[in-house]
Amino acid sequence: MSPEQQVFLVPSRHDEWAKMAATMINKISTQVDGAHIEHIGSTSVPDLPAKDVVDLLVGVDAGRVLAVSRQLASLGFDMEGQLDHHCWLSLPDRSERAYVIHVVEYDSRAWNRRIQFRDLLRTDADARHEYLQTKIASAREAQNWDDYTQSKTSVVSNLLRSIGSK
């Protein structure tokens, strides 16, 4: 799926996605010394429909974010984007994503918010329901992946504020 294509949600295949995540976590951990790696996103939440793409969060020291991202790119990951202290890559590539890998500074705001949001969705049925309704509307209305992601931002922020996330 390319960034220009419409987003489609599929019913949860949590067990399959968890196995895919574990396999990729093992692969990355053997290549990147000292990385903290977590399965995030909707595929990490049981019974939550999602894009059929496993998201992983790779946390490293701030000074290593770009170097680790380039290392993963040299191993065949497609470097899709880069911001300060955040790079994202896909595998096999951005047109056929099976994985999206986010490389950020470990224990930073970016790391903590993603983990907190995942954990909130895993434990709070009301938050999960609100987020699912937003995902469904966003997938229906968004023209591409970026639109989809941006259209969910305010709901994600509000849900994180509700638990006191910084």
Question: Strand pairing of 54-60 and 99-105?
Answer: parallel
Query: What tens digit of pLDDT does each residue of 97-114 get?
Result: 999 999 999 999 999 999
pLDDT of 5 > 80? The answer is no
Spatial distance between the Cα atoms of 85 and 40, rounded to a whole number of angstroms: 18
pLDDT at 2 over 80: no
Element (H, E) at 38: strand 36-40
Give pLDDT, residue 1.
Answer: 40
Structural domains of the chain, ranges and CATH numbers in brackets: 14-162 (3.30.460.10)
Cα separation, 149 vs 7, whole angstroms: 10
In order of 63, 123, 146, the CA distances from 14 in angstroms are 34, 15, 24
Q: Is residue 145 within a helix (H) or strand (E), and if so which, with residue range?
A: helix 145-162
Helix (H, G, I), strand (E, B) or coil at 42: helix
Q: pLDDT band for position 164 (50/70/90)? A: confident
Name every residue whose Cβ is closer than 8 Å to that of residue 127 and which is 6 or more positions away in sequence.
Answer: 120, 121, 159, 162
Among residues 2, 125, 103, the alpha carbon closest in space to that of 55 is found at 103
Q: For position 145, what pLDDT does the model report?
A: 85
For residue 166, the model assigns a pLDDT of: 58
Position 95 confidence tier, pLDDT thresholds 50, 70, 90: confident
In 10 A of CB 156, how many CB atoms? 18
Beta bridge partner(s), residue 40: 55
Strand 54-60 with 86-91, pairing: unpaired
Report the alpha-carbon distance of residue 115 to residue 102 in Å, rounded.
12
Strand order in the sheet with 78-83: 36-40, 54-60, 99-105, 86-91, 78-83
